[in-house]
A = this chain, B = another copy of it.
């Protein structure tokens, strides 16, 4: 006879297969789908999403969860964590009424459409009513989930992306960053050397060859994954079939290679998830911050450091056919570590990026808390950009309308980017301590030891721990420590 826990495992595996199918279809839509297929695809994805929701909210799941929890003493460590994750997924799915879920989905899709036009026209007043509706519905959802989970509404939103994280934690970390980043930025801008003049163009074919070589170097297994082109780079698919994307701009080869490395970091995490827990909730990635930490560890910690540039520079000259000071280690280092006050988040560097995030985090808290009306967002955006980044924002298009996240109702997501950067710094420091030859390894393009260490400490742990902070503590001996990220930035950008 199968136990309640075993029956749950079977149902969650089915759920994972439906979601896996949807993930591949999302990849297809972003890479190879002909434009005329968009309508049919939207309907297929909406149906799969509905099927998954109905599977999760099936009345028998509630009974099975209660039954399995009453027998939990018999479960091992991973099984116990798996049951906890099943309960969490069920709680999120059932906390909202079907009407609210549908209203959120509909208003998000509608707002996204309005946003595309309003952004093109730089017309925030055209966007405001739709965004206000999204905000009102997200606020309702946050309240309902907060009541169901016994936490603050904003924390309930965070929990969708990052379990075990509270706004109070973010406040502490972000206040610490905000206390030194603006002045650090000022000093870096004075201190940093001028990068060499823009070098020659590189064909997309050469960029692709280099990207593939770099992913090989990381250890990415093309028997279980692909690299393709999309408008915005992303990592999709499923753990046994990881679909990475990048983009090629012949005038900006580093602008394709670094996204490929970034997605490669995500891809190595997916590939390293515990295969014996495939399709089970506990076998998934820890959360968005830990996922981002794996991409940023590769892209920022490793690939913008001098050791790796000693490997990259000859590779670019060999496979890219380029030459001159801009491609030497020294020239490359000033290019990949160039810092600038910026208006656009996705173009920001390692120093200014957290300021963009802190800015958004503060605004979204104020909006959801009712302290900032949507109609007052443009002004608040300009003020925050001026005070945090020292930037004057000339238009709402390049201001508060630049990101899609809020339009789709994704409040509580932005903080994970910067928490990921901080986690990356802390993991990398622990790896350096554990692997005394790391710098030498990287200068030869040898990622074996680093990836083995990450695999053991992070990838293979899935969602065994109840929060990213607990996983980080187990991996590095301490919870998230702002000082490590600060020292990393000071050392790299001020040579302190």
Contacts and interface: CB of A to CB of B under 8 A. Distances in A.
Interface of A: 13-14, 17-18, 20-22, 24-25, 28, 32-37, 39-41, 43-48, 50-51, 221-226, 237-241, 278-279
Nearest to A39: B240
A234 to B, nearest CB: 16
A28 B24 contact: yes
Contacts of A22: 21
By DSSP majority rule, is chain A's interface helix, strand, loop, or mixed?
A: helix
Given A25-B24, A25-B25, A43-B17, A241 B34 contact: yes
Given A24-B44, A36-B241, 12 more contacts: A14-B47, A18-B47, A20-B40, A24-B41, A28-B28, A36-B223, A36-B224, A37-B237, A37-B238, A39-B240, A40-B241, A40-B278
Contacts of A48: 17-18, 21
Nearest to A52: B51
Centre residue among A13, A45, A47 by max chain B CB count within 10 A? A47
A30 to B, nearest CB: 13
Given A25-B21, A25-B25, A44-B24, A240 B36 contact: yes
Contact of A240 (B21, B40, B238): B40
**Cβ-closest 10 pairs across A and B:** A37-B241, A36-B224, A17-B47, A36-B223, A40-B240, A21-B44, A17-B44, A20-B44, A14-B47, A17-B43
A341 B10 CA distance: 53
Nearest to A45: B21
B279 A43 contact: yes
A59 to B, nearest CB: 16
Contacts of A47: 14, 17-18, 21
Contacts of A40: 20, 238-241, 278
Contacts of A237: 37
A237 B32 CA distance: 12
Nearest to A51: B51
26 contacts: A13-B43, A14-B51, A17-B47, A17-B48, A18-B51, A20-B40, A20-B44, A21-B44, A21-B45, A21-B47, A24-B41, A24-B44, A32-B32, A34-B222, A34-B241, A36-B223, A36-B225, A36-B241, A37-B224, A37-B241, A40-B238, A40-B240, A40-B278, A43-B279, A44-B238, A51-B51
Nearest to A226: B34
Contacts of A17: 43-44, 46-48
Contacts of A224: 34, 36-37
A41 B21 CA distance: 8
A238 B226 CA distance: 24
A273 to B, nearest CB: 12
Contact of A241 (B33, B222, B223): B33
Centre residue among A20, A21, A224 by max chain B CB count within 10 A? A21
Contacts of A222: 34
A241 B28 CA distance: 11
A240 B40 CA distance: 7
A387 B13 CA distance: 53
Contacts of A223: 34-36
A99 to B, nearest CB: 18
Nearest to A19: B44
A20 to B, nearest CB: 5
Contacts of A46: 17
Nearest to A35: B223
A241 B34 CA distance: 7
A115 B186 CA distance: 71
A238 B34 CA distance: 12
Contacts of A239: 40
Nearest to A224: B36
Nearest to A20: B44
A465 to B, nearest CB: 25
A20 B41 CA distance: 9
A10 to B, nearest CB: 11
Contacts of A25: 21, 24-25
Centre residue among A13, A34, A39 by max chain B CB count within 10 A? A34
B241 A32 contact: no
B34 A225 contact: yes
A226 B28 CA distance: 12
A33 B222 CA distance: 10
Nearest to A32: B226
A9 to B, nearest CB: 14
A293 B237 CA distance: 37
Contacts of A50: 14
Contacts of A45: 21
Contacts of A20: 40, 43-44
